[in-house]
Amino acid sequence: MDIATSSPDQLGSEWNSQFDQRALCLLEHYNNSEILFYEKGKAIKTNLTNKATQTWEEDLVDNEGIKLSFRAYRTYMKKHEPEARFANSEAFNSDQIFFIGFALHFCAAYSREGLEFYLKTNEHSIHQLRVNRVVSNQPEFAEAFHCAPGKQLNPKKRCSIY
């Protein structure tokens, strides 16, 4: 059965139970996030927290979206890698460039007040989490950047819905 084209009724209670467990993993993954504030290039710990119950639907989309994007990217590169030349490609391989491109989309600087307002009002997690939490759930990221096992960006436990 193809879960992408099936209705919840067709999938049944077992799938719904698995979905709930996987969604809870994602919720906890974001809820346990340390939020740092950067001032003059220095990371400062805050007492601010991400409200994952407010952001989890968008967190789910971010996590599953990058999987689909990476799969499409790999399919494209199988056919076109010899002609797909990247500037400065000596420093980074093509998989690394994919993830760097993803992260660049979320470049942002917040004032302390702006960060507090964003956390209270936005349906998306802050950009720091939208990058770090998403890539930490992608084994392909850890492989591309040779992240040590058990570290923040290559955790033992990953969350995945599909």
Alpha-carbon span 153 to 137, nearest angstrom: 8
CA dist 160 and 29 (Å) reads 11
Of residues 56 and 17, more confidence is placed in 56
Confidence of residue 84 (pLDDT cuts 50, 70, 90): low
Whether 82 has a pLDDT exceeding 80, the answer reads no
The SS3 call for residue 37 is strand
Q: Is pLDDT of 3 > 50?
A: no
Please tell me what DSSP assigns to residue 5: T
Please name every residue paired with 39 in a beta bridge, in sequence order, or none if there are none: 42
> pTM surpassing 0.85?
no
pLDDT of residue 11 exceeding 50, the answer is yes
Using an 8 Å Cβ cutoff, are 99 and 145 in contact? yes
As a whole number, the mean pLDDT across the chain is: 85
Supply the pLDDT for residue 41: 82
pLDDT-wise least confident of 40-49, 61-70, 126-135, 153-162? 40-49
Helices 94-104 and 127-136 pack at an angle, to 10 degrees, of 150
Q: What is the CATH number of domain 8-145?
A: 3.40.390.10
pLDDT at position 104: 95
- pLDDT-derived band at 23 (thresholds 50, 70, 90) equals confident
Residue 85: its pLDDT value, please? 62
In the predicted model, what is the mean pLDDT of residues 48-57? Answer: 87
Confidence of residue 17 (pLDDT cuts 50, 70, 90): confident
- Element spanning 141, H or E: helix 139-145
- Please measure the distance between the N-terminal and C-terminal CA atoms of the chain and give it in whole angstroms: 13
Average pLDDT (2-16) is: 58
What is the Cα–Cα distance from 55 to 50, expressed in whole angstroms? Answer: 8
